[in-house]
Amino acid sequence: MTLKIYGISASRAARPLWAALELGVPFEHIAMTYKAGATRTPEFLAINPNGHIPVLIDERAEGAITVWESMACALYIARVHGKADGQTIAPATPREEAEALRWSFWTVSELEADALAVLMHRMAMPEDQRKPELADKAESRLKVPLAVLEKHLQAQHAKGEAYLAANRFTVADLCVASVASWVRPAAALLAQYPALSAWLKVCLDRPAQAQARAMK
Ligand SMILES: N[C@@H](CCC(=O)N[C@@H](CS)C(=O)NCC(=O)O)C(=O)O
């Protein structure tokens, strides 16, 4: 098998796993955790010196290619293992490519930290360790990027396109939805963005997303 994806699905490794499953690309899943220093061993630091999952290794005739950073992993899978035929999640035109790039970078710079604070302090952490005031502040800041996303989706609908980059689900949607999903514990906040909420549900209802979630 040429493609290896390191990282349990309950982590940012969900992004490359989801991308590979969308495309039906065969891959080996090394379901390693990120807990208890598992990503800080000399062996793992040799493949990702940052000490994080996910990591993707693509064994190719020209040599092995290592990709880390979850968005880069998902974009790489779509670009290198997808067909740019306007049917798959792979960007098929310069515009689709631009949308995939800008929304992925936007997600990590404008959305991810506050979305993670909501997830952790509203739901994921043990209740006695949660700090609701951190979630409150994150929710308040999230109103800006969520409004940007809502406006873009409404403009897309006005053009007859149901997704971020096109009138089909692409890797742009996958990258943004994988992080926007962390805001779901803030149900009242999300409800203020109807186009976003409807789009997010459609993305998360995809069979490949359910398959990724069900993996180790
Ligand atoms: N920006 C990186 C962040 C990766 C990251 O923080 N991964 C977490 C799991 S979701 C991790 O490996 N944590 C373990 C550690 O940092 O020791 C990405 O998107 O890939």
Residue pLDDT, tens place only, 177-198? 999 999 999 999 999 999 999 9
The domain 3-82 belongs to what CATH superfamily? Answer: Glutaredoxin (3.40.30.10)
Supply the pLDDT for residue 203. 98
Please, where in the chain does CATH 1.20.1050.10 lie? Answer: 94-211
Could you tell me the CA-to-CA distances from 182 to 6, 81, 155, 158 in Å, in that order? 21, 27, 24, 27
Going by alpha carbons, the residue nearest to atom 14 of ligand 1 is 34
Task: Tell me the mean pLDDT in the region 70-88.
Answer: 98
Please, where in the chain does CATH 3.40.30.10 lie? Answer: 3-82
pLDDT at 119 over 90: yes
Check whether the bond before 54 is cis (ω within 30° of 0). Answer: yes
pLDDT at 110 over 90: yes
Supply the pLDDT for residue 213. 96
pLDDT tier for residue 94 given thresholds of 50, 70 and 90: very high
Supply the pLDDT for residue 70. 98
Angle between helices 14-23 and 171-180 (to 10 degrees): 140
Supply the pLDDT for residue 18. 98
Q: Which atom of ligand 1 is nearest to the CA of 35?
A: 14
What class is the 94-211 domain? mainly alpha
**What does the pLDDT look like over 27-63, one tens digit per residue?**
999 999 999 999 999 999 999 999 999 999 999 999 9
Which residue in this structure is represented by tokens 């899978």?
Answer: 77
Going by alpha carbons, the residue nearest to atom 4 of ligand 1 is 52
CA distance 195 to 150: 6
Which residues are near ligand 1 (CB < 6 Å)? 11-12, 34, 39-40, 51-54, 69-70
Supply the pLDDT for residue 1. 62
